[in-house]
Structure 1
């Protein structure tokens, strides 16, 4: 009598030559991070920028000289005791560059955050409602774009008393329109997508659709423009401080340090070139990071199978 195999017996005796392939589902965030990690210049710039930020904000608590106190060493060249030298008054340039970098970064980051927040909401509302609302809001944005940024910032900053947060607020108030234009164009295409129609069908309010659906899906262009505004902010603050209408003593910034050292560029060049090198380094690293983010968020990148 022939023995009848159990239903699963054949499968259990099957040689283990067949492999089961599984495809890992990757979220959009992971895809963006992978693309950004492949951008070597952006990754190197991110490391450099993080080190500069840590040095500027943590370094003053570890360094034995204060940016606001004199030392008995006047006009000293860079040495082990004073790595960046000292000025004619005896201020330690290393401590002053740390403080200047910290102030310039605070101004630039506040400009980026303020401009991005206002511009993103403004552009999203204009793109979502279109029609008369869009026309009026975009004409206001166009008006802001036509204003000469440096001239207006110079006039207003001259009346602000040299406080870094007022300078940041003034520049942010003149740069948000750039973000608004970009976000509006993105929202105009997103508002016709299926997920927006589904949210409307489920009874979501306009505010919820804008804040919970449109803005998160426009995050790529928003982040890229925020990095550009960091570089714009630090260069604008540097220019204002250089002409004497930015940060004022006893506080300091990179632009103010360069301005104060321009008369000593031949006799004590370290006072001029070292702060200038930090300005260039920050602007370059931010631009490379922005390029990496732009490539990472580019929807034309090769699609990954899900």
Structure 2
């Protein structure tokens, strides 16, 4: 019998295939990395930010320095040339990029924060509260942005933070509309009902459950708002109603070089190229984030 048992083959153990469950953060990151244009744009935008904030601090010329060379085309000494007073255009473009990015990020932060809170409270309470709050948002949306911003910034003497505050006050309604729509759907979820049944306050539900779960659309819209803010600030500075000398921004540089396009084109095209590059990269980043946070995209390649 022992011989018979010895001839029985031992059962083979097959490897059990396991599927690694990824967190939501990992899924979002992998979807974003699959968006090649968004990844390249993110690298370019980071490079622009580093160039503006770090490069401007170590560059041999300051944006307000006057050099002996006036109206010199691009060269090894002055990569972007100089203006008619001898200012190094490369230093001025770095300073203008720095100021424009600061204004755009401040606008996105203020408008995103206020718009998120406004939309979350409006969508959660619904009813009369929702109607009143959304009518106010609709009123802000109907205001002509450039015209109102031009009137409000005329008396500020070009204070960049006040320019950002005015533009943010006219841009928050876009974010609030998006957040309200998401919250209207989230407030009916089971975990919200359970939290309410356990005695959670409205403020706790809004800040602990609704806003965190609406973070994806919020991030996407705030990112797109950065690009819009860059263009609005550029338009105001081009009209002479934004940042004022001795400080500078990309829009102001383009405005000052408007009459020199045919004689000194480098004064116009270099800051203009930075405006286009910043706006394009941020828009591509926004597209990548929109795809990454899209809940319908469940499948991610390993």
TM-score, normalising length from structure 2? Answer: 0.95
The equivalent residue for 2:125 is 129
How far 1:170 moved relative to its partner? 0.2
The equivalent residue for 2:108 is 112
The equivalent residue for 1:35 is 31
**Contact 2:92/2:248 (8 A) holds in 1:** yes
Over aligned residue pairs, what C-alpha RMSD do you find? Answer: 1.8
**Structure 2, unaligned stretches of length 5 or more?**
none
Q: Note if 1:165 corresponds to 2:161.
A: yes
How far 1:221 moved relative to its partner? 0.9
Q: Note if 1:179 corresponds to 2:175.
A: yes
Structure 1 CA distance, aligned partners of 2:122 and 2:299?
31
How far 1:205 moved relative to its partner? 1.1
Residues 52-82 of structure 1 show CA distances to partners (whole Å, capped at 9, x for unaligned) of: 0110111111101000111111111100000
Q: CA, structure 1 residues 216+79, in 2 after alignment: closer, same or farther (shift >3 Å)?
A: same
How far 1:302 moved relative to its partner? 3.1
Query: What does 1:253-292 align with in structure 2 at a 5 Å threshold?
Result: 253-292=249-288
How far 1:303 moved relative to its partner? 4.4
Structure 1 CA distance, aligned partners of 2:300 and 2:275?
39
Residues 265-291 of structure 1 show CA distances to partners (whole Å, capped at 9, x for unaligned) of: 111100000000000000001111111
Structure 2 CA distance, aligned partners of 1:283 and 1:192?
37
How many pairs align?
299
Structure 1 CA distance, aligned partners of 2:56 and 2:78?
14
How far 1:301 moved relative to its partner? 1.1
Mean Cα displacement is larger for which, 202-211 or 77-86? 202-211
How far 1:21 moved relative to its partner? 1.6
Mean Cα displacement is larger for which, 268-277 or 154-163? 154-163
The equivalent residue for 1:299 is 295
Q: CA, structure 1 residues 85+126, in 2 after alignment: closer, same or farther (shift >3 Å)?
A: same
Q: Note if 1:19 corresponds to 2:15.
A: yes
How far 1:204 moved relative to its partner? 1.5
How far 1:202 moved relative to its partner? 2.3
The equivalent residue for 2:227 is 231
The equivalent residue for 1:242 is 238
Q: 1:185 aligns to what SS in structure 2?
A: helix
The equivalent residue for 2:187 is 191
How far 1:20 moved relative to its partner? 1.5
Structure 1 CA distance, aligned partners of 2:179 and 2:153?
28
How far 1:304 moved relative to its partner? 6.0
Residues 107-136 of structure 1 show CA distances to partners (whole Å, capped at 9, x for unaligned) of: 111111110000001000000000011011
Structure 1 CA distance, aligned partners of 2:300 and 2:243?
48
**Structure 1, unaligned stretches of length 5 or more?**
none
Structure 2 CA distance, aligned partners of 1:262 and 1:251?
18
**Contact 2:237/2:255 (8 A) holds in 1:** yes
Structure 1 CA distance, aligned partners of 2:11 and 2:75?
76
Mean Cα displacement is larger for which, 19-28 or 296-305? 296-305
TM-score, normalising length from structure 1? Answer: 0.94
How far 1:2 moved relative to its partner? 5.5
Q: CA, structure 1 residues 304+255, in 2 after alignment: closer, same or farther (shift >3 Å)?
A: closer
Query: What does 1:87-106 align with in structure 2 at a 5 Å threshold?
Result: 87-106=83-102
